[in-house]
């Protein structure tokens, strides 16, 4: 039995006496339970106990009477906050190279769609990825995986979608799988073959959708490379009808839908996602009451990606209206080379507070427990509860949890604990 004791914690936040069984919605999002001057004990990678420091001696007496702990490791978290590691439920962090040249185009005034129409954007990344070996793609991507851990992320969803051929989509998903096997990160994988229509199918979008359905989904499912299926449902990308067909096919192979919906327009994406009981609908910059109602009925999590809204200089998703409507919302980074070259959940929380008017409590819930539910990890991750996985973030010495979104560039992470194992961070 391996035990870890974290003691003298200035504030333990986001703990649950009774773990919630569903993502937090509406007013539940402002509830953030905390204990001052606390301890937390993990055993074999699982949270075993926590409480105020004055109960620690009693707890330890009881433990040593029964099972004498061997190899007890102790961390002193005086002045520090302990919370669940972030759960980043929307990323594209497996990609080759970078696209800062498009950044210059963007600064000269070209829109995301204009850059894409010139062969930049997703097709540019697909080209780069095609010319990169699987080993090199792993090398570049695993670097980003460690980068996001250094920002405090413990669980992540990674999408394909820069392959756009059966071979390259599989290459991406294999790399994502390897990241989950060779780093401490918990990784969920999403097949996003319908991210853009590749050059070779220009003007023949339906035929590419056929290839996704007939050539890609069966192989990806057979190799168990994906948990979810996703579509970029947007003018110039994929239609509601395409999405309908792809979701139908994916569900037959056990892939649950996620969607890129309503990022640039009222695309109908939310409604089709709700129709198929998608676990999350992501982006949602263009949404109003009709979309809210569809999401509410299906229980789909509204995943907001303020990093790309910031980078593309658009209007933010109406998060406050969503919360007032009683929707469950999550925040994710959308880490990708085109619209959000950042995997920093703390920065996303800062944007969510400043630009979407979330409170720090709401932002923390959206970045932890609701992000976990958006990856079907809500029962094991995203909060501090007895029996849950010990995936914890120990902050540097900071005055309060409000300081996290407030000090938006100050390094936050002192130590990450993944499955009870201490991972030191700079
Ligand atoms: O979520 N919107 C589609 N996909 C990404 C951008 C991908 C890219 O530009 O490379 C997003 O914003």
Average pLDDT on 349-353 reads 98
Average pLDDT on 306-311 reads 97
Ligand 1 mean position to 196 CA, how many Å? 10
80-84/392-397 β-pairing: antiparallel
Ligand 1 mean position to 297 CA, how many Å? 27
Closest CA to 219 of 173, 181, 186, 187: 173
Q: Tokens in use for 123?
A: 């097709």
Cβ atoms of 12 and 6 within 8 Å: the answer is no
- Using alpha carbons, list the distances in angstroms from residue 423 to 1, 22, 101, 391: 19, 29, 35, 10
Do both 361 and 389 map to the same domain? no
Which residues constitute the domain of residue 197?
86-373
How sure is the predictor about 424, in pLDDT bands with cuts at 50, 70 and 90? Answer: confident
Most informative mutation of 334, 342, 348 for ligand 1 (most atoms within 8 A of CB): 334
Most informative mutation of 89, 94, 191, 336 for ligand 1 (most atoms within 8 A of CB): 336
Nearest CA to ligand 1 atom 3: 232
Residue 63 is predicted with a pLDDT of 75
Nearest atom in ligand 1 to the alpha carbon of residue 95 is 10
Q: How many structural domains compose the chain?
A: 2
CATH number of the domain to which 158 belongs = 3.20.20.140
Closest CA to 228 of 74, 47, 418, 374: 374
Residue 163: pLDDT above 80? yes
Instruction: State which of 355, 373, 391 marks the end of a domain.
Output: 373
Q: Give the pTM.
A: 0.97
CATH number of the domain to which 19 belongs = 2.30.40.10
Average pLDDT on 314-339 reads 97
Residue 67 is predicted with a pLDDT of 61
| Rounded Cα gap, residues 160 and 172, in angstroms | 6
Do both 20 and 95 map to the same domain? no
DSSP single-letter state for residue 216: I
Residue 426 is predicted with a pLDDT of 58
How sure is the predictor about 1, in pLDDT bands with cuts at 50, 70 and 90? Answer: confident
Do both 169 and 221 map to the same domain? yes
Consecutive H or E run containing 11: strand 2-13
Nearest atom in ligand 1 to the alpha carbon of residue 308 is 12
Residue 425: pLDDT above 90? no
Do both 51 and 111 map to the same domain? no
Do both 179 and 296 map to the same domain? yes
Nearest atom in ligand 1 to the alpha carbon of residue 125 is 10
* Better-scored residue on pLDDT, 111 or 51: 51
Ligand 1 mean position to 263 CA, how many Å? 10
Most informative mutation of 260, 333, 335, 343 for ligand 1 (most atoms within 8 A of CB): 260
Q: Does residue 339 belong to any structural domain of this protein?
A: yes
Measured from CB, residues less than 6 Å from any atom of ligand 1 are: 92, 121-122, 125, 232, 260, 263, 308, 334, 336-339
| Rounded Cα gap, residues 359 and 172, in angstroms | 36
pLDDT in tens, 223-246: 999 999 999 999 989 999 999 999
How sure is the predictor about 254, in pLDDT bands with cuts at 50, 70 and 90? Answer: very high
Do both 147 and 287 map to the same domain? yes
Do both 17 and 96 map to the same domain? no
- Long-range contacts of the stretch 360-363 (C-beta < 8 A, 24+): 360/401, 360/402, 360/404, 360/405, 360/406, 361/29, 361/30, 361/31, 361/32, 362/29, 362/30, 362/323, 362/329, 363/331, 363/405
Most informative mutation of 98, 119, 232, 267 for ligand 1 (most atoms within 8 A of CB): 232
Ligand 1 mean position to 121 CA, how many Å? 8
Ligand 1 mean position to 329 CA, how many Å? 20
Do both 203 and 295 map to the same domain? yes
Ligand 1 mean position to 113 CA, how many Å? 11
Nearest atom in ligand 1 to the alpha carbon of residue 121 is 9
Q: Does residue 57 belong to any structural domain of this protein?
A: yes
Ligand 1 mean position to 238 CA, how many Å? 13
Average pLDDT on 70-93 reads 95
Residue 214 is predicted with a pLDDT of 98
Residue 268: CA count within 13 A, CB half-sphere: 10
Mean pLDDT score of the chain, rounded to an integer? 96
Ligand 1 mean position to 310 CA, how many Å? 13
Residue 27 is predicted with a pLDDT of 95
Ligand 1 mean position to 340 CA, how many Å? 8
Cβ atoms of 183 and 145 within 8 Å: the answer is yes
Ligand 1 mean position to 66 CA, how many Å? 53
Residue 35: pLDDT above 70? yes
Do both 259 and 347 map to the same domain? yes
Do both 29 and 145 map to the same domain? no
| Rounded Cα gap, residues 331 and 373, in angstroms | 12
pLDDT in tens, 362-405: 999 999 999 999 999 999 999 999 999 999 999 999 999 999 99
Residue 304: pLDDT above 60? yes
Q: Does residue 69 belong to any structural domain of this protein?
A: yes
Do both 249 and 189 map to the same domain? yes
Cβ atoms of 91 and 173 within 8 Å: the answer is no
Instruction: Say whether 38 sits in a helix, a strand or coil.
Output: strand
Ligand 1 mean position to 71 CA, how many Å? 46
Cα pseudo-dihedral 127, 267, 252, 205, rounded to 10 = -40
Lowest mean pLDDT among 60-69, 174-183, 264-273: 60-69
pLDDT in tens, 52-80: 999 999 988 887 655 655 678 999 999 99
Q: Does residue 378 belong to any structural domain of this protein?
A: no
Most informative mutation of 191, 195, 335 for ligand 1 (most atoms within 8 A of CB): 195
Residue 81: pLDDT above 60? yes
Do both 263 and 244 map to the same domain? yes
């Amino acid at each position: 039995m391996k035990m870890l004791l974290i003691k003298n914690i200035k504030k333990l936040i986001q703990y649950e006496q009774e773990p919630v069984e569903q993502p937090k919605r509406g007013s539940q999002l402002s509830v953030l339970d905390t204990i001052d001057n606390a301890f937390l004990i993990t055993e074999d990678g699982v949270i075993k106990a926590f409480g105020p420091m004055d109960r620690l001696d009693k707890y330890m007496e009881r433990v040593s009477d029964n099972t004498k702990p061997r190899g007890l490791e102790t961390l002193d978290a005086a002045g520090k906050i302990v919370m669940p590691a972030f759960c980043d439920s929307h990323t594209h962090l497996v990609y080759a190279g970078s696209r800062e040249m498009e950044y210059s185009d963007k600064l000269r005034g070209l829109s995301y769609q204009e850059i894409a129409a010139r062969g930049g954007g997703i097709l540019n990344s697909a080209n780069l990825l095609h010319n990169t070996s699987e080993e090199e793609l792993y090398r570049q991507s695993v670097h980003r995986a460690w980068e996001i851990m250094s920002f405090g992320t413990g669980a992540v969803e990674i999408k394909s979608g820069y392959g756009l051929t059966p071979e390259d989509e599989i290459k991406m998903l294999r790399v994502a799988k390897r990241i989950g096997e060779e780093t401490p990160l918990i990784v969920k994988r999403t097949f996003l073959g319908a991210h853009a229509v590749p050059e070779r199918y220009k003007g023949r979008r339906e035929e590419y959708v056929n290839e996704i359905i007939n050539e890609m989904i069966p192989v990806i499912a057979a190799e168990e490379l994906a948990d979810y299926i996703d579509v970029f449902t947007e003018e110039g990308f994929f239609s509601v009808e395409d999405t309908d067909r792809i979701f139908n096919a994916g569900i037959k192979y056990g892939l649950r839908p996620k969607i890129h919906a309503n990022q640039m327009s009222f695309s109908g994406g939310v409604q089709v996602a709700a129709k198929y009981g998608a676990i999350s609908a992501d982006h949602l910059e263009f949404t109003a009451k009709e979309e809210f109602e569809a999401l509410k009925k299906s229980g789909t999590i509204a995943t907001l990606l303020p990093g790309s809204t910031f980078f593309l200089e658009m209007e933010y998703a109406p998060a406050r209206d969503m919360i007032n409507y009683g929707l469950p919302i999550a925040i994710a980074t959308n880490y990708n080379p085109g619209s959000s070259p950042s995997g920093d959940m703390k920065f996303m929380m800062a944007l969510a507070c400043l630009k979407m008017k979330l409170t720090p409590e709401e932002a923390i819930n959206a970045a932890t427990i609701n992000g976990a539910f958006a990856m079907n990890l809500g029962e094991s991750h995203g909060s501090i509860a007895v029996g849950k996985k010990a995936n914890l973030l120990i902050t540097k010495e900071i005055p309060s949890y409000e300081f996290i979104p407030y000090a938006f560039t100050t390094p936050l992470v002192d130590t990450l604990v993944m499955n009870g194992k201490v991972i030191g961070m700079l």
